[in-house]
Structure 1
Amino acid sequence: MSDDFSAGDDSTGSQRDDGSSIGHGFDLSAELAARERRNLLRRLSPANRVAERAQFAPAPGSALPVVDGEERLVLGANNYLGLTQDERVQDAAVAATEVVGTGAGASRLVTGDTLVHHDLETRLAEATGTDRALTFASGYAANVGTITALEPDVVFSDSNNHASTIDACRLSGAETIVYDHCDTADLASRMSDREQADDESWLVVTDSVFSVDGDVAPLEELCILAEQYGAWVMVDEAHAIGLYEDAGGIVQREGLSDRVDIQMGTLSKALASQGGYVAGAEELIEYLINHARSFAFSTGLCPPAAAAAAESLHIARTDDCRNRLWRNVEYLREELDGMGYHVPGETQIIPVRVDDRTAALELSEELYERGVVAPVIRPPSVPEGTTRIRVAPMATHSASDLATCLDAFRDAGREIGLL
C-alpha cells in the first residue's frame, strides 16, 4: 500500500489525504506520483510517421496530438531495415486490402483464414529452415500462446528474457527456473541440481538478440545442454529475424535450425509490420492450432499486415538493405566508442551506457534538443544502476543522418560533462 493514503478506521475502506474514500478500488494517482518521484514515469510521444525522420508531439493525454514543425532524426526504433516507408511494402499492403479486406474478420479457425496468411507462413518457414510457421496477432500472443499450450513442467529461462516470456511462464503454471544471463555454466548447474522425474517435460527459453543491450545468447551451448537432458529449446528471434543469412535470425546464422525446436519472432521490427509467428515441425504447428488459446480466440492477423510482412521478408532476402544496415551499425558503434562512450554489444542495437539515471535522462533530453530521438532505457526494464541510451540505426539512414547523430552525441555529452 502506498504511503500516500492510509487505512480508515471504519468499514468504508481506505482514504486519500483529502479524506475522500477510495473504498475497495485503486489509488492510481498515488502509484503514478511514486513513479514520477523516481524518474520512472513514462509518457506517450506521438509521431507523424514511422521512418528514419519524424515530427513529434508532446504527450497529449486525452487530447488530440499536435506535432511541432521540427523534424527529428529517429534512432530508437526497431524498424531496422527502414521498410515501413518502402513503396513495395506499402503496395503489398494496399493490394491485400483491396483484394482480401482490411481485417480477417474472425478467428482463423472460423472464417478468418486467408491465402495471404498462408503465403506469409510459407515464406517464414523458408527463412527459418522449418517445416511450417504459424502467425499470431502479436509477438506477445505468440510467446504466451506457445508456452501455455505446451504446459511444460519446468522452464529454464534466461534472466533477461522479454516480458512476454516471463508472463507466459507464469501463465503456464510451470516451475520456472531463472538462470543467469547468457551463463551456460549456471544453467548447467541448475539443470544438474534439478531432480528430474521420468515423465517431466523441460523447456529452455531464451531471446537470441536481447532487446536492450543487443547481446547474443550462446545458442549452440544451450542446445548441447538441452540435448543432454532431452529438453526442448525455444528461441525468441524478435530482434534478429530478417537480419541474418537469407533473412533468417541468429538460429540461421549459427546453423541451428535443426536443433532449435521452436523458433518464435515478431513481424513488427525488421519486417515493418505487426504480429508474431512460431516456426517449427509440422506437428508443433498443428498442435498450436488446436491448443494455443491466443491463436484460437483471437481474430486472425489483418491481411494488410500479413502482406506487408511477406513483402518485407522477400526484400530482406533479395535486397541490399541488410548490408546497408550493418555498415551503418559498424560506423556508429566505432565512432561513439571513439568519443569515449561505453558501447557494448555486437548487433544492430547499440547501447550507450550511462549508469547514472539522471545523467542518462539529461543526455536524452539534450539529444532531443539537437534533433535526435534516442530513448533512455531505465528500471524496471533494466536492473538498477544500469541505465543506457538505446541507439538503433536503420538501413535507410544516410551518411548525413549518421553525422547528425554523432555531432549531437558529442555536443550533448560535453554539455552535461560526460565527455
Structure 2
Amino acid sequence: MRGDADASPGGPGTDGRRRDAPDADRGFDPRARLAEREREGLRRDLTPVETVGARSRIAADPGGDPPTFDGDEQLVFAANDYLGLAGDDRVQQAAADAAREVGTGSGASRLVTGDTPTHRALERDLAAVKGTERALAFSSGYATNVGVISALDPDVVFSDELNHASIIDGCRQTGAESVVYDHCDAADLRAKMRERAEHGPARNRDESWLVLTDSVFSMDGDVAPLPAICDAVEEFGAWLMVDEAHATGLYADGGGIVQRDGLEDRVHVQMGTLSKALGSQGGYVAGSEELIEHLLNAARSFVFSTGLAPPAAGAAREALRIAREDDAHRERLWENVARLRDGLEAAGYQVWGESQILPVVVGDRDDAMVLAERLRDHDVVAPGIRPPTVPEGTSRIRVAPMATHTETGIDRCLAAFREAGRELGLV
C-alpha cells in the first residue's frame, strides 16, 4: 500500500519527482553551483579554531560532527581582533555580567521590548568617542551599512571602487544611480561630481548625493584621503558616509581615522563595527540626533531585527573603555605591525598598505594559495586572497597582526615567510 500511495498524484514517483510536477524545473541545484566553484578554484571550507586569539589549534571542516583539534598549535595572523580584546578577561567578564543582569538575548526588536540600558550605555560611549550627538547599534556591520544606506535613499551615490561588499549591497538596495570613482582618488571623485552637476538631469540641484568610502580598506590596508574627500563633498553640497570598520578603537581615545584627522564635524555619517578591534559582535552608526532618529525608524535591518545581544553590547562597551583608557594595547599593535612590515620587506616581499593590515602581494593566484598552504605547514595561519575578492594579478597573503602577538611569535611568522618563499622561489 505504501508503494501505491507514493505513486498517487501529488506523491513522489520512482524518479524522485512529484507526479504533478511541471515539465520545467525552476528549482536550485547547490551541487552544480559547488562544482562550478570547484572548477574556478573558488570553493572554500570552514576551518574551526580552538580559541580566538593569537595562537590556536586548527581543525578540518567537521561537517555536522564535533571538530577534533589535534596536531601542533598554530600562530594566527588572520584575525581582525587587532587589539586582542576578544580574549581579555575584563571584556569576557563584561559579557558575562550583561548576560546575568539583562539576559543572553534581547528577546525582540529594539523598537518592541529589546531596548535595554546596556544598549543605551554602549551607544552613549560610542557617540562620545565619535564626537557625535548620538549612535545606534545594529546586529552586524553588514546590517548597518545595508540599513543605513537604504534608509538614506539617495538619488546618486559616489562610491570608491574598492568599498566593502556591504556598501555595494546597500547601494543596490536603494535603486540609486551609482557612480564609482577611482580608488582613494579625491580628484577623480571631484571630477565625477562636477560631470554630474554640469551634465546630469535638469533636476540635479534637488538630488540627494551620498559619497561612500571605507577609511581603512580591508584588503589593501591603505587609508582614504578623508580631508581631500571632505573638500570635494562640501564643494558640491553632498553628504559623506565613512565606514570605520577597520579603524574603530585603533587611534587616540578609541577613535578611528575620522578622529585621527579631526573630521568629526565634516563627516555626516560615521559607521563602524564592534567585531574587530572591539572584540565583540555588531555594528554601529553615529551622527546627529535627527539622523539617528530617522534611522531607527527607517533602517529595515534595524527595525526588523532582534536587538544586539546584551552580552555583545556589554563586551563591546568594555573593550571601547579599554581602547580609550589603555594606550598599551595600541602601542603593542603598532610595534608588531612595524616589526612585521620591516621583516617581510627585508625578506624580499612586496607589502602594501599603511595600516595594521599588511597585504603581502604575490600576484599569481595559484602562487598565493600555495604560499598560504606552505605557511600553514610552518604553523602560521594567514589566508590567501584571490580574485574576485581582489583584482586579477594582485593575489596576496593578508597578514593581520594583533597586540597579543609576542616578539617570538612575530619572528616565527617571519621565519615561515622566508622559508616558504624560498621553497616556492618567490623571494
- The answer to whether 1:99 aligns with 2:101 is yes
**Aligned ranges for residues 336-415 of structure 1 at < 5 Å?**
336-415=344-423
- Out of 298, 316, 319, the residue aligned to residue 309 of structure 1 is 316
Could you give the per-residue CA deviations for residues 95-144 of structure 1, whole angstroms, max 9, x where no partner exists? 11110110000011111001100111111111111111000000011101
Question: One-letter code of the match for 2:256?
Answer: G
- The answer to whether 1:167 aligns with 2:178 is no
Question: One-letter code of the match for 1:88?
Answer: R
Query: For the residues of structure 1 that align with 2:67 and 2:412, how far apart are their CA atoms?
Result: 27
What RMSD over aligned residues (CA atoms) do the two structures have, in Å?
1.0
In the TM superposition, what is the alpha-carbon distance from 1:55 to its structure 2 partner?
1.1
- Contact 2:384-2:396 within 8 A present in 1 as well: yes
Match of 2:23 in 1: 12
- Contact 2:356-2:401 within 8 A present in 1 as well: yes
Could you give the per-residue CA deviations for residues 200-252 of structure 1, whole angstroms, max 9, x where no partner exists? 10000000000011101111111111101110000000000000121100000
Question: One-letter code of the match for 2:141?
Answer: G
In the TM superposition, what is the alpha-carbon distance from 1:33 to its structure 2 partner?
1.6
Which secondary structure state, in structure 2, belongs to the residue aligned with residue 197 of structure 1?
helix
Which secondary structure state, in structure 1, belongs to the residue aligned with residue 389 of structure 2?
coil
**Aligned ranges for residues 118-197 of structure 1 at < 5 Å?**
118-194=120-196, 195=200, 197=204
- The answer to whether 1:298 aligns with 2:305 is yes
Gaps of 5+ in 1: 1-10, 14-22
Query: For the residues of structure 1 that align with 2:354 and 2:170, how far apart are their CA atoms?
Result: 28
- Out of 257, 262, 271, the residue aligned to residue 250 of structure 1 is 257
The structure with the larger Rg is: 2
- The number of residues matched between the two structures is 400
Query: For the residues of structure 2 that align with 1:69 and 1:283, how far apart are their CA atoms?
Result: 55
Query: For the residues of structure 1 that align with 2:284 and 2:272, how far apart are their CA atoms?
Result: 6
Could you give the per-residue CA deviations for residues 269-290 of structure 1, whole angstroms, max 9, x where no partner exists? 0000000000011111111111
Which secondary structure state, in structure 1, belongs to the residue aligned with residue 409 of structure 2?
helix
Query: For the residues of structure 2 that align with 1:239 and 1:169, how far apart are their CA atoms?
Result: 20
Which secondary structure state, in structure 1, belongs to the residue aligned with residue 418 of structure 2?
helix
Q: Which range moves more in the overlay, 233-242 or 43-52? A: 43-52
Give the fraction of aligned pairs with identical amino acids, expressed as a percent: 63
Question: One-letter code of the match for 1:71?
Answer: E
Match of 2:19 in 1: none
Query: For the residues of structure 2 that align with 1:234 and 1:56, how far apart are their CA atoms?
Result: 38
Query: For the residues of structure 2 that align with 1:197 and 1:353, how far apart are their CA atoms?
Result: 42
Query: For the residues of structure 2 that align with 1:165 and 1:43, how far apart are their CA atoms?
Result: 25
In the TM superposition, what is the alpha-carbon distance from 1:71 to its structure 2 partner?
1.1
Question: One-letter code of the match for 1:204?
Answer: V
Could you give the per-residue CA deviations for residues 121-175 of structure 1, whole angstroms, max 9, x where no partner exists? 1111111111110000000111011111111000000010000000000001111
Match of 1:212 in 2: 219
Match of 2:41 in 1: 39
Which secondary structure state, in structure 1, belongs to the residue aligned with residue 64 of structure 2?
coil
- Contact 2:148-2:295 within 8 A present in 1 as well: yes
- The answer to whether 1:329 aligns with 2:337 is yes
Match of 1:27 in 2: 29
Could you give the per-residue CA deviations for residues 290-314 of structure 1, whole angstroms, max 9, x where no partner exists? 1111111111000000010000011
TM-score by length of 2: 0.92
Which secondary structure state, in structure 2, belongs to the residue aligned with residue 269 of structure 1?
coil
Which secondary structure state, in structure 2, belongs to the residue aligned with residue 359 of structure 1?
helix
Which secondary structure state, in structure 1, belongs to the residue aligned with residue 247 of structure 2?
coil
Question: One-letter code of the match for 2:30?
Answer: L
- The answer to whether 1:238 aligns with 2:245 is yes
Question: One-letter code of the match for 1:165?
Answer: I
- The answer to whether 1:112 aligns with 2:120 is no
Query: For the residues of structure 2 that align with 1:204 and 1:296, how far apart are their CA atoms?
Result: 24
Match of 2:79 in 1: 77
- The answer to whether 1:202 aligns with 2:209 is yes
Query: For the residues of structure 1 that align with 2:78 and 2:191, how far apart are their CA atoms?
Result: 37
Which secondary structure state, in structure 2, belongs to the residue aligned with residue 345 of structure 1?
coil
Which secondary structure state, in structure 2, belongs to the residue aligned with residue 340 of structure 1?
coil
In the TM superposition, what is the alpha-carbon distance from 1:29 to its structure 2 partner?
2.1
Query: For the residues of structure 2 that align with 1:51 and 1:393, how far apart are their CA atoms?
Result: 11
Match of 1:17 in 2: none
Which secondary structure state, in structure 2, belongs to the residue aligned with residue 176 of structure 1?
strand
Question: One-letter code of the match for 1:395?
Answer: A
Which secondary structure state, in structure 1, belongs to the residue aligned with residue 351 of structure 2?
coil
Query: For the residues of structure 2 that align with 1:210 and 1:174, how far apart are their CA atoms?
Result: 23
Query: For the residues of structure 2 that align with 1:198 and 1:190, how far apart are their CA atoms?
Result: 15
Question: One-letter code of the match for 2:321?
Answer: H
In the TM superposition, what is the alpha-carbon distance from 1:344 to its structure 2 partner?
1.2
Query: For the residues of structure 2 that align with 1:39 and 1:412, how far apart are their CA atoms?
Result: 22
Question: One-letter code of the match for 1:266?
Answer: T
In the TM superposition, what is the alpha-carbon distance from 1:199 to its structure 2 partner?
1.5
